[in-house]
Structure 1
Amino acid sequence: MARPTMEDVAARAGVSRALVSLVMRNSPKVSPQRRAAVLRAAEELGYSPHAMARSLASRTSNVLGVMVSDLHNPYFAEIVDGLDTVARSEGFELIINTGGRSPARERRAVAGLLSFRPAGLVLLGPVVAAADIAAAASKTPVALVARASNLSTVDTVNDDGNAGAQLAVDHLVALGHTRIAHFDGGRGSQSALRKRGYLAAMRRHCLEPLVLPSEYTDVAGAKAVGKLLERGHPIPTAIVAANDYNAVGAISALNEAGVRVPQDISVIGYDNTSLAALAHVGLTTIDQPRREMGRLAAEALLRRARDPRAEPVRHLLQPSLVVRSTTGTPLQAR
């Protein structure tokens, strides 16, 4: 069957198409009786307004586009929770697309979201080029989460990844670790900042750094463990993983190799996702206030949507350490 139209609803309710349009836009100019008749007709027909068509017709939009770098990472889902809370309270709906951690895919994802004529875009952990972000910002308000920008037309919400990585190293050193490796996040957003913090903390403690190339995935964490074990003894007694997802992959590979966590080697993640808090995982990690970051990004975006010339917002949130069961005293210090 063809999708029911506004004309169909108007005919069923015995009113004009213009009045149906007013009801769908929640206009106060409609009497309660007529509003009820239109809503009843719409329900009977299974009609719902098409957000894209409505925005094209009215040149306004109640849609916010969200580009998620990696749908597999629960970190982004928790940020979306914060976005959604603010969006719904302000009468907006979210449309979500993913870039799959690929610059080319992200460009296509952003172009697809822009085709809906959204009131604004939120890009979560984007790896797309700065020029592409600037191009998007010339068409609609843009807010970035987990990505820095100097563009005056773009708002940003980040945690201090440098400080967070240093917290991780400091925790391990306080436990007695001196051989601490870092699995970096590859091309992932904020990866360079976390690596910089790791290196700074290792220098501060007069320790020799060891960085293994990795990515923000469990598979990459497992592969990095393989590379680590291939190096032979002495292996590090602790790992600062790129993120929680990477850490879980590392722990799985260590268990398969007969290396106990934390008895033989400690592992610390980054993000404090719901995955880290699971009882059978119990991952020590660095906490980012994910829902708060989503809330701040949505508020900044809606502010810019109302005033395109507003000064850019630059939120930099401080991370904190969450100690669970994957870190402990190294064997030689017991």
Structure 2
Amino acid sequence: MDEPGSADPVGSSGAKPRPRLEDVAARVGLSTASVSLVLRGVPGPSERTRQRVLKAAADLGYRPDRTASALASKRSRLLGVMIDVHSAFHAEMVEHLHTAAEEVGYDLVLSTQTRTRDENAAIETLLSFRCEALILLGPVAPASVLADLDRKAPVISVGRRITGAGLDVVRSADDDGVGQIIDHLVGLGHRAIVYVDGGKGVIATDRRRGYRAAMRRHGLDAQIRILHGDHTEEAGDRGGRHLLGGGDLPTAVVTFNDRSAIGVLTAFRGAGVGVPGDVSVAGYDDDTLSRLTCFDLTTVSQNAEEQARQAVLAAVERLDQGRAVPREIVLAPSLVVRGTTAPPR
């Protein structure tokens, strides 16, 4: 038991002082400069030295002060990522972006769009955290606005085609992806193929164009039918219920994305319409939900892992290598056939 009046060894608040770089250096008998090299992953120190430093840091509970390091180096080494909080595809992209960024010595700051928080607010948050480059997933702002933003920090647009703005773009060929779905369905024997649209925006426009072009390529101009929609499950549900109330059902429905396709599936299954027995359904994105056994959705993969890798590479080229000429990387999408498509009855 402590004697009355004895001093609190950790201070009056009871909190232990935060371990410093100097404490790690003292523990292993090295200079702070040498310890810093190890903790920053800089080549030079031997493997034995590296292991000693890492063990001492772990034993002491040392964590680098990122803010202080950034102020000292004038580099934050942070990449800002804007995502839609409701998108399973964006969540998967973030996982791949983290991996790609860590491999080149960067970290991510995430800022979300929600139903009450728009794109501008999400971007302002990233800038306030001193992010060196911005990776925007599916941005909807006008090209001129994104070009102005690029003057503050390099902008990499992921998923959306942008022309004439001098920005880096990483995307898949969306029109080709939807065309692959139509080719697949026509090959199964479908002719009455309805498309549930994704609303406004460049990505929605490209996918809608891909549907029209593929239907015309197969001589199905008279069968083209597009229902208004957006990127949500609710839009797919509305589209499905509209078709249910309209008399003869089509033999196949293609949607803007997997979320909308899940809404269509919900509406059809709730009405006792078999999928794919009565109607085939296909989505787009190959997000994590589409792979669940309860959906088993035929869809199109955008190769999220490669898009993430290319987006981080573009940011690093701008920041560390001084590349000034914008690049557009267009990846080929690939059809993923699962259990929601089959020949029509």
| Mapped partners of 1:164, 1:24: distance in 2 | 44
2:217 corresponds to 1:217: no
What secondary structure is seen at the aligned counterpart in 1 of 2:81? strand
Structure 1 counterpart of 2:267: 253
Change (3 A) 1:188 1:80: farther
| Mapped partners of 1:38, 1:4: distance in 2 | 20
- Report deviation, 1:22: 6.2
Change (3 A) 1:302 1:252: same
What secondary structure is seen at the aligned counterpart in 2 of 1:144? strand
Q: 1:80 aligns with which of 88, 91, 94?
A: 94
**Once the two structures are superposed, what CA deviation does each residue of 1:255-307 show, in whole Å capped at 9, x if it has no partner?**
00111111111101111223222233221112211111111111111111123
**Once the two structures are superposed, what CA deviation does each residue of 1:161-188 show, in whole Å capped at 9, x if it has no partner?**
1111122122222222222111111235
Structure 2 counterpart of 1:292: 306
Q: 2:252 aligns with which of 219, 231, 238?
A: 238
Change (3 A) 1:40 1:164: closer
Greater alpha carbon shift after TM alignment, 122-131 vs 293-302: 122-131
List alignment gaps of at least 5 residues for structure 2: 1-12
Structure 2 counterpart of 1:119: 132
Q: Which amino acid aligns with 1:130?
A: A
| Mapped partners of 2:56, 2:282: distance in 1 | 56
Greater alpha carbon shift after TM alignment, 302-311 vs 44-53: 44-53
Task: Report the TM-score when normalising by structure 1.
Answer: 0.85
Structure 1 counterpart of 2:169: 156
Greater alpha carbon shift after TM alignment, 290-299 vs 309-318: 309-318
| Mapped partners of 1:286, 1:207: distance in 2 | 25
What secondary structure is seen at the aligned counterpart in 2 of 1:233? coil
- Report deviation, 1:242: 1.0
> What does 1:22-33 correspond to in 2, within 5 Å?
25=40
- Report deviation, 1:219: 2.1
| Mapped partners of 2:121, 2:23: distance in 1 | 40
Structure 1 counterpart of 2:3: none
| Mapped partners of 1:109, 1:172: distance in 2 | 39
Structure 1 counterpart of 2:148: 135
| Mapped partners of 2:195, 2:336: distance in 1 | 18
| Mapped partners of 2:150, 2:16: distance in 1 | 34
Structure 2 counterpart of 1:228: 243
Greater alpha carbon shift after TM alignment, 111-120 vs 40-49: 40-49
Q: Which amino acid aligns with 2:285?
A: D
CA contact (8 A) 1:180 1:210 kept: yes
Structure 1 counterpart of 2:75: 60
- Report deviation, 1:252: 1.2
CA contact (8 A) 1:101 1:127 kept: no
Structure 2 counterpart of 1:106: 119
| Mapped partners of 2:123, 2:16: distance in 1 | 27
- Report deviation, 1:119: 2.7
| Mapped partners of 1:27, 1:172: distance in 2 | 53
CA contact (8 A) 2:199 2:228 kept: yes
| Mapped partners of 1:109, 1:85: distance in 2 | 22
| Mapped partners of 2:35, 2:167: distance in 1 | 37
List alignment gaps of at least 5 residues for structure 1: none
Q: 2:296 aligns with which of 276, 282, 292?
A: 282
What secondary structure is seen at the aligned counterpart in 2 of 1:60? coil
What secondary structure is seen at the aligned counterpart in 1 of 2:297? coil
* Identity across matched positions, percent: 42
CA contact (8 A) 2:86 2:114 kept: no
Aligned length: 327
Change (3 A) 1:242 1:29: closer
| Mapped partners of 2:332, 2:55: distance in 1 | 50
- Report deviation, 1:128: 2.6
| Mapped partners of 1:161, 1:91: distance in 2 | 31
- Report deviation, 1:21: 6.1
Change (3 A) 1:4 1:249: farther
Q: Which amino acid aligns with 2:190?
A: H
CA contact (8 A) 1:188 1:215 kept: no
Q: 2:285 aligns with which of 239, 250, 271?
A: 271
Q: Which amino acid aligns with 2:135?
A: V
